[in-house]
Every structure is written in C-alpha cells, then in structure tokens.
Chains A and B, each alone.
Chain A
C-alpha cells in the first residue's frame, strides 16, 4: 500500500494551482517547440531550461518534465503529419506517415496521444514502485562501482545510439574532456582554460547543447534545402469503437517493452520504440498490415516511447546516474535548481520526488485533453517558411544562452560548439554520447580518484569488487560481441568480393 500512500502524497503536492499551471505550460511549450524542425528533445530542453531559473524548485522540475514529454509528443506529431524525423521519433515516421497518406492523420494522432497516455500510466506505477527499492540498492554502491556503472553506461549508449562502440565511446570521452575544462575541484588547478577567464567555471551546459544540437541541426536543415509542404489535410480525431479496440493491446505491449527498456543503461525512448515496433510486427493480430499504416504500428511505439521516457527517470532519481543524454541534461537541470539526484533524493525531498512523479501523470492527462485536440492549430507553425523560422530559432537560442548568467561570452561558446557540432554531424559522429560524457565526466573523475585512493593505486579494485566486477564483465562482453561481428562482416566482405547479382522476382 506504500505505493498508493506515496502517490496520494505526491498528488497533494502536484495538484496545487501553481504546479498545475507549470505542468500545463511545460507540456504546451514543449510540444510547440518540439514540433519545430531541427529541435529534438535535447535542444528543446536546453532552449527552455533558462525559463525555469526563476521558478520555485518544485515548479521548475515539474515544468521541465512537462517540457520533455511535451517535446516528445511534438516530435511524434511532426513525424506523423510530415515525416520529419527527430532522433526520438524515427519509428513514428513509418506507420504514422503511412496513415497520413491514407488520410487517417487524425486517427494516427489520437492513437499516438492515447497510447502515450497508457504507456505513461503503466510506467508511473513502475516508477513509484521501483524507484524507492532501487535507491536502497544504490546505497550498496561504492565509488568503484559507480565508476564501472558510468563506464557501462557509456558503452551501452554508444552501442545503442551509433551502433559502433568505437565511435560512440570516442564521443563520450570527448565529452568527458570538455567537462574537465575549468577549475579542478580537488586541487584548484585551472585546466584547459587557455587563460580565458570566462572558462574558469567550465563550459556552460546550455551553450554546449544548443551549439551541438540546435545550431548544428539548423545548419543541416539549411544544407538539405528543406522544402516541405505544410500539412493541409483534414484531421478527424475521434476513432470508431473498432479502431479504439485495436489500440489497447498494442499499447499495453508497448508499455511493458518501454518500461523495461527505459530502465537499462543506455536505454530510453529510441531503442524502446524500435523494440516495441518489432514486437508488434511479430505478435500482433494485424501484423501483416504493419508498415503500411496500421494502428498497431503507431500505438505500440508511442506507448513504448512514453513509458521509456518515464522509467528512464528511475536510474537518475534513485542512483543519481543518468542513462542517456536527455536524462543527463535533466540531471544538470536538477542540479541547477539545487537538487542532487541520487539515493538520498527520495528521503530528503519526498515532496519534490513524489510531486514530480504525480505531475508526470497529470502531464499525461494534459497531453491527452489539451494537446491532442489542439494539435491542428499548432501545425500552422509549418506554414511559416523555414527561411523565416530558423532566424527566429537562432534568436531564441541567443536569448536563451545569454540569460543563463547574463553574459555574452556564452554566445561565443555556442557559436564554437555549433561549428564543432556541425563537423561531428558531417563526420557521422553522434553528439548525444558527448552530452552524456560531458555531464558524467566530473562524477567519473571524482569516483575514480576516490577508488584509487581506497585501493592504494591498484587497478585490480575494479575487478575485485563484486558489483563492479560484474559491470566490467558486461562491458567486456559487449566489446567482444562488437569485435566478433566486425570480424565476421569483414571476412564475409573479403570472401565474396563479387556482389551477388540480384535475382529477378
């Protein structure tokens, strides 16, 4: 009954007029900004982060969470109506857009919204039940184990987001190095500042992420000479009962898949969508229709998306380890607002923790009753030509980075990371692992130094400690697997030098 008690305690905090307003504002602004081409959840959150600085802590966290899932829904909408994929909505482009081509946009949007609601509800029950348990487990973790956990997170994220452990891990380490810029907390040495005073405090998080995700993406869109036709079709939202019945089983399957994958290191919405889509393709009663605009193709992935987005808060709030780039950004936002996520968070700030959990569900309701019906009006954003839209986005990037601490220096940093992010993009290096490395770097260093101090300088400590040893084992397995698959594919390439002619039929 603990879960129910805790949740009702949380609702008593989340249901104040003020917090309801923050939640609604977060969802709405998040969806609107998330719709814009070139702004996925990462860029949206970093763009809107300065807005929350002046709010009370609880309200700020509630609004940020609202922005996050609002942005995700916005991504889904632009994927369904116009086939604009963001990192978080690649799967929605397949069946969602196919439904639009069939003239069933309204149904697709309703399915996505309603499945998200189911996914979110299931995930919140998982969150309320699992987070306190996991925070007890987290107390068993020493510095050595934290080190290995962070490394495992790096490897998993690399594996998932880029498919190549080497590329992703490289970006993680670049991020770690960028996180080292500034004053070393332990010794007070200035590191990598090149004598520039504004770097003594380190690189600003908002500048880095807006540069790498905002500016770079905008420029990529410009390179592609984006010519998209704005969506002009009709939207009929309310489904028939027969259609409605098809949503439920698929959404429930997606919720389970998403909840589980959201918990894994390196997991999160992206991988959950693909997995849920694959599951539906295997077991759904209508599997032959999936890929050509089936309700199941939208429902499963949307539910998984939402569920994974929620459960990925669990490792962050109970262990203090973000498992993907978005959560790393969330962690930074928590810290800016004066909350250190970790095993103690539930005990020391129960009102914030349970209030946030409850507000997530309220946010889900808002998405369903507010965003789904209003979506047709928001799509008019796309009637603005891109050449008028992107200078406006740039302007808000500038205001956003400036208002972090009223300093123009941040804008130079944004420009530099815009160029760097663009180069990375062209080199097919994903900046998401960089973000994770940047935020986890200081934590990794601190725990590394501590565990080396405790072990008197012996590296064997990472293998001898049972928890750490298991985690290191996982890392080795992942590496071996990657190496093996590389060797196999290279072999196959050299053994069959002549491409097999395609057989007709």
Chain B
C-alpha cells in the first residue's frame, strides 16, 4: 500500500498540533490581556491545526506522491546513538563508542567488519587524545 506524501504531511502536522494542544489545555489560560502560560501554546496549536487541515484539503487538488520510508537505516543510526548513551552511562564511553560505530556501520551497504573495527579503534584513539591531550571532560574509562 502506498501512502500519499501530501496527506501524510498534513496528518503529521495535525497530530503534532493535537499532541501539544491537549497538554496545553491543562495549563492556565488567563485572559488575552493577562495571558497565562497556556494561552500562547493553544493559539499556536490552533494555527498549526488549521495549517495541517489546509494541507489535507489541498491533497484533493494536487497529484498524489508516494511516501517512501526506509526504516532500517534510521533505526540503526538512532539505535546506535542510544546504545552509545546507555553504555557510556553504565559501562564507559570507550565501550559505547566501539558499539556505536559497529552498529552504525552496519547501515552502510558496503559494510565490512574489519573496516568498522578499524574505524572504531581509530576514533577511540582520537577520544583518548582529546581527553589526555586537550583536557576534554569525557568519561572514557
């Protein structure tokens, strides 16, 4: 099934507007002359909702374009970042660094284990140099 890119665009903006708008309703609105912390976000959400709806309406007048999405690469890249943060927190940053490079490299279509390992070791050396030589505060080990 192909999804229309324009339609998805509008729906995405509407979803963001609702996500923020529902939360904003719980903040004090005040009055326009003494706006509370909820007034401005609600107005912006309202405008965003209008824009999102307008984009949805616009899809009736324009040609559909397929929405393509490649989950694999973005998932690998962002997961490698998360792994880096988690490992740095519970083990140390050098381990996190090596795991991140290995995971992210897997996203490349010409992945080679030995090369990824070389890159990881090279970057680990740079990180060590940054800490020892330049005095960066990195919790490497």
Contacts and interface: CB of A to CB of B under 8 A. Distances in A.
Interface of A: 166-167, 169-170, 173-174, 176-177, 180, 184, 186-187, 189, 191-192, 215, 218-219, 222-223, 225, 385-388, 390-392, 394-395, 397-399, 402-403, 406, 408-409, 411-412, 414-416, 418-419, 422-423, 426-429, 445, 448-449, 452-453, 455-459, 486, 490, 493
> Which of under 10, 10 to 19, 20 to 34, or 35 or more describes the interface residues of B?
35 or more
Given A167-B55, A392-B119, A427-B67, A418 B8 contact: no
Given A177-B16, A177-B45, A191-B24, A457 B119 contact: no
Contacts of A453: 33-35
A418 B70 contact: no
Nearest to B58: A166
Q: Which 8 A-B pairs have the closest CB atoms?
A: A457-B33, A387-B108, A457-B32, A189-B37, A415-B81, A411-B85, A184-B37, A391-B101
B9 A427 contact: yes
B44 interface: yes
Nearest to A391: B101
A169 B110 contact: no
B81 A222 contact: no
Given A395-B100, A426-B69, A427-B67, A187 B78 contact: no
Given A187-B36, A395-B127, A453-B35, 15 more contacts: A166-B54, A166-B55, A191-B23, A192-B41, A218-B77, A219-B107, A223-B73, A395-B123, A398-B100, A408-B89, A419-B78, A427-B9, A427-B67, A449-B35, A453-B33
Contact of B74 (A166, A219, A225): A219
A402 B78 CA distance: 15
B117 to A, nearest CB: 11
Interface string B79-90: 111101100110
Interface string B41-64: 100110110011011001001100
Nearest to B96: A398
A189 B41 CA distance: 13
Nearest to B43: A448
B138 interface: yes
Interface string B107-128: 1111110011011100100110
A418 B104 contact: no
